[in-house]
Structure 1
């Protein structure tokens, strides 16, 4: 079976209500670079929302690099199951190599899969 590694529009949280739903009662995972919030959804695929604040990451260039890194990590991570995830970046995410951010995100994805499965 061939894996499909694209990132279609359906895999994104777009509406404020969808974000609110995740913020209401999430399963959390945090470290010095990111905070990830997740809840189970009613679809058979995961969805991603990004909340990268100008307050934390001042320059648009850095915000965009971080967003691309998060999207890429999410896209490659095929085994997330049915959950909605919102990623918030912290100030420390600016000054570190991208490889470190990728490793941090991988740990978060695994943690969230385990926590979401146990919270059902």
Structure 2
């Protein structure tokens, strides 16, 4: 744990993706999925839920049926995490789920055009949450 602190990942508003900023457990994903989608785009669905933490957390779900190649799935996850790190969000749990195919096996696994389109979609989704009003949770 000390190695995380020495890397400067504990500062509020830092641009890291430490374990504390991830949704990892199945029950955490389930509790966010139970709510209605906050926003939809051409390829993604964003689910959100207020949390009791001083920062936002992210979970990413990329199904193999919508992105058959591992290269494509990893690119989607990488772009999503990158945008999450640089976007100042309120203290919410966000789950980004790929909901439609981004390419087929006939096309290249990843292209510059695909990355630009994904960034644009995800930027819009995260921007919509910066403006959203969430109930303030009293500190425990």
Q: Which residue of 1 aligns with 2:114?
A: 97
- Give the 3-state SS of the residue equivalent to 1:29 in structure 2: strand
Q: Which residue of 2 aligns with 1:108?
A: 125
- Give the 3-state SS of the residue equivalent to 1:17 in structure 2: helix
Query: 2-side partners of 1:111 and 1:48: how far apart?
Result: 15
Q: Deviations over 1:16-36 (max 9, x none)?
A: 010011011245211112111
Unaligned runs of 5+ in 2: 1-12, 104-109, 136-140
More helix by share: 1
Q: For the Cα contact (< 8 Å) 1:52–1:67, is it kept in 2?
A: yes
Q: 1:19 aligns with which of 3, 6, 29?
A: 29
Unaligned runs of 5+ in 1: none
Q: What is the TM-score normalised by the length of structure 1?
A: 0.86
Greater alpha carbon shift after TM alignment, 39-48 vs 100-109: 100-109
- RMSD of the TM alignment (CA)? 1.9
Q: For the Cα contact (< 8 Å) 2:89–2:130, is it kept in 1?
A: yes
Larger radius of gyration: 2
Q: Which residue of 2 aligns with 1:88?
A: 97
